[in-house]
Amino acid sequence: MTNECNGQTTCKVENIILTILSIFALLVTVFGNIFNLISFYICRNQSLKSNTTFIILSIIFLFEALTLNTWNLDIFLQIFPRKNDRKYNIDNHNIIESSSVFTCKIFTFTQYFSLHSISWLMSLMTVDQVVKIYFPKNSFQKPKLIKKIIFCILLILFLANSHILLFAGVVNNFKFSKKINVNGTWLNETVVVKQIDCYSSSLYQFYPIWDRIHLFLYCFIPFSLMMACNLFMVRKILFYPSTLNHRRSVIVKRRTISFFIIAHSLMFMACSLPSIVSYGFYFYRLKMTRFGEIVLVILDEIIFSFFAFNFLAHLVMNKIYRKEFKRTMSYWYSYLVLK
């Protein structure tokens, strides 16, 4: 399929859609970083820093901010300055990564590592809540232990993704000839253009091998764990509430935070799965259609929007977070404005 637009109405519509998506991607990056850093600060407040749920959430907010700065920002950088006579090509996305072999390794690693960390830490948050409900008196609730577990999870994910730092990034040399005029004589000159492919390796086949591993690390295993924990929580809270071995006030608190964790994990899965399935199983089909690549970009923006704006879900459904958010905003307002 040609990449030329030649002023077609279809291409004009495509340009409008892509321009809107590119600006939206930039807004998601800017505001997502701000909101996630504010949320991290709130979770680290004195009243929450010993709560294991908010210890895990604080690290999730950091990784959600981190994950917005590569693939999502690539969408803006590749689309916005694009010439209108050219069709958008999703293969040219990797602008930030492809600046050099070093940036290729660092940014590609950071993107995968942050996505995997978010997914597994959300799984840990659901496991943590199940343990609190079923075993109220246990050492798992101690902040020091949960921090050690977080460290171990991140270390394993770091090692699982470390091959990107070591082997990812291939420099391809493309040669082509062009004619130059030297003192009235036309001569053929060979020009070599270097292009960095961040998602290739000289030692192994990056795709589809790593793509399939990524599906299991980011999706299948943690999502299965989250669904199982959600079912355990629903079973205990809705069907056997009388078996909860807690005081009345603690039961209400546990129920509130459990419902939020269930809703939060379900929203995460709902936003992630369309993009994961599309890239994993329908990427080349969509890529060959005029608006298929736009669909892929929209699905990307759905999950990145969740990472950027899920603090709104916390404000609506998480009573503890909402209370601390209001207290923090009141403090900073009085400090910065009324002082």
Closest Cα partner for 151 from 109, 116, 121? 121
Query: Which residues, listed in sequence order, are joined to residue 86 by a DSSP beta bridge?
Result: 4
Residues 6+ apart with CB under 8 A from 123: 222, 225, 226, 229
Predicted confidence (pLDDT) per residue in 32-78, tens digit: 999 999 999 999 888 888 888 899 999 999 999 999 998 888 888 87
**Mean pLDDT on 315-331:** 87
Residue 329: how many CA atoms within 13 Å on its side-chain side? 10
Select the more confidently predicted residue: 46 or 270: 270
Query: Could you say which DSSP state residue 241 is in?
Result: G
Q: How far is CA 133 from the centre of its chain?
A: 29
Query: Which residues, listed in sequence order, are joined to residue 142 by a DSSP beta bridge?
Result: none
- State how far the Cα of 58 lies from the Cα of 56, in Å rounded to an integer: 5
pLDDT value at residue 284 = 75
Select the more confidently predicted residue: 302 or 331: 302
Q: Count the neighbouring beta carbons within 10 Å of the beta carbon of residue 205.
A: 10
- State how far the Cα of 258 lies from the Cα of 271, in Å rounded to an integer: 20
Retrieve residue 142's tokens.
């101690």
pLDDT value at residue 81 = 60
168-179 per-residue burial string, b: 16 or more CB within 10 A, e: under 16: bbbeeeeeeeee
Using pLDDT thresholds of 50, 70 and 90, give the confidence band for residue 101: confident
Q: Count the neighbouring beta carbons within 10 Å of the beta carbon of residue 70.
A: 23
pLDDT value at residue 192 = 66
Q: Among residues of the chain, what percentage have pLDDT more than 70? A: 79
Which range, of 92-96, 208-212, 275-279, 311-315, averages the lowest pLDDT?
Answer: 92-96
Select the more confidently predicted residue: 179 or 1: 179
The CA-atom distances, in angstroms, between 40 and each of 98, 127, 333 are 30, 21, 18
Using pLDDT thresholds of 50, 70 and 90, give the confidence band for residue 332: confident
Residues 6+ apart with CB under 8 A from 142: 52
Helix (H) or strand (E) holding 227, with range, is helix 221-234
Predicted confidence (pLDDT) per residue in 184-209, tens digit: 667 666 666 677 777 777 777 777 67
Name the amino acid, one letter, at 18.
L
Q: Is the dihedral of CA 76, 299, 303, 317 positive or negative?
A: positive
Q: What are phi and psi of 326, to 5 degrees?
A: -60, -40
Domains in the chain, CATH or no CATH each = 9-336 (1.20.1070.10)
Task: Give pTM, 2 decimals.
Answer: 0.85
Tell me the chain's radius of gyration from C-alpha atoms. 24
Query: Could you say which DSSP state residue 97 is in?
Result: G
